[in-house]
Amino acid sequence: MIRVVLVDDQPLIRTGLRVLIADTPDLEVVGEAGNGAEAVELVARLRPDVAIMDIRMPGTDGIEATRRIHAETSPTGATGEPTRVLILTTFDDDEYVYGALRAGASGFLVKDMPLESILDGVRVVAAGDALIAPGVTRRLIAEFAARPDPGPDPEPGPAPAPARRAAVGGITEREREVLTLVGRGLSNAEIAAELTISVATAKAHLARLFTKLDARDRVQLVILAYEIGLVAPPG
């Protein structure tokens, strides 16, 4: 059972998600919060698998809440499995999404997506992967990574971005190919087809990349692929 906390200052959004999840056997809503400060407290107390997080909220916004949740529930913070944050945003919130990437979010959805897609996103994020939606997140990550000076990295994860960039020198040529394809937004099945390998082998390469680059999830690998020039931003 995937335990979920809903974080949104709009009760209607929370109600819609709660009703949908109530009819889903593998998901369970264990708490709700109307702002970021409440979310941080709730996650610390309940330790859910996934927090579905709005960005624009009064007081502590979703970016700061994501940063604190990631710091306090990651292996370098409190003990136990980390709580993954799935951002629920709108298409024109680019600046906020850049901040959420740095803060440790594992996925992004837009509020006008079908509710079933949101449920699928929760499952993907809970499994430790990252949700990279075609046409939205790929564009956002590309623009984010193409910026000449993204500023200091406030991400409190296990290793700062410079350390991950330096670690790229230790990966194999095949792993570099996989990292490039991840940066292009390909799924595991698409990577396997592109390299003429099995899906299981593609997953094994990804697992080694996560370990060698101390990356939390697929989002960090995508960002890294852009930062080191393996993938060029759309021109």
Kindly list the structural domains of the chain, giving each domain's residue range(s) and its CATH number in brackets, ordered by start: 2-145 (3.40.50.2300), 158-227 (1.10.10.10)
Does residue 75 have a pLDDT over 90?
A: no
Round to whole Å and give the CA distance between 53 and 30. Answer: 14
Does residue 46 have a pLDDT over 90?
A: yes
Contact 215, 163 (CB under 8 A): no
Radius of gyration of the chain (CA): 17
Does residue 71 have a pLDDT over 50?
A: yes
Find which of 39-48, 63-72, 139-148 is predicted with most confidence, using mean pLDDT. Answer: 39-48
Round to whole Å and give the CA distance between 31 and 48. Answer: 9
Contacts of 203 (CB under 8 A, 6+ apart): 188
> Across residues 140-165, what is the average pLDDT?
51
How confident is the model at residue 223, as a pLDDT?
77
Q: What percent of the chain clears pLDDT 90, i.e. is strictly above it?
A: 37
Q: Produce one character per residue of 211-235: b if its CB has 16 or more CB atoms within 10 Å, e if not.
A: ebbebbbbbbbbbbbbbbebbeeee
Does residue 225 have a pLDDT over 50?
A: yes
SS3 annotation, the chain: CEEEEEECCCHHHHHHHHHHHHCCCCEEEEEEECCHHHHHHHHHHHCCCEEEECCCCCCCCHHHHHHHHHHHHCCCCCCCCCCEEEEEECCCCHHHHHHHHHHCCCEEEECCCCHHHHHHHHHHHHCCCCECCCCCHHHHHHHHHHCCCCCCCCCCCCCCHHHHHHHHHHCCHHHHHHHHHHHCCCCHHHHHHHHCCCHHHHHHHHHHHHHHCCCCCHHHHHHHHHHCCCCCCCC
Q: How confident is the model at residue 150 (pLDDT cuts 50, 70, 90)?
A: very low
pLDDT in tens, 93-116: 566 766 777 788 888 787 777 878
Contact 17, 135 (CB under 8 A): no
Residue 212 one-letter amino acid: K
Q: How confident is the model at residue 155 (pLDDT cuts 50, 70, 90)?
A: very low
**Single pTM value for the model:** 0.68
C-alpha distances in angstroms, 135 versus 181, 219, 222?
Answer: 16, 15, 15
Other Cβ atoms less than 10 A from the Cβ of 12: the count is 8
Q: What percent of the chain clears pLDDT 70, i.e. is strictly above it?
A: 76
Contacts of 116 (CB under 8 A, 6+ apart): none
How confident is the model at residue 102, as a pLDDT?
75
How confident is the model at residue 227, as a pLDDT?
78
Does residue 149 have a pLDDT over 50?
A: no
Contact 145, 223 (CB under 8 A): yes
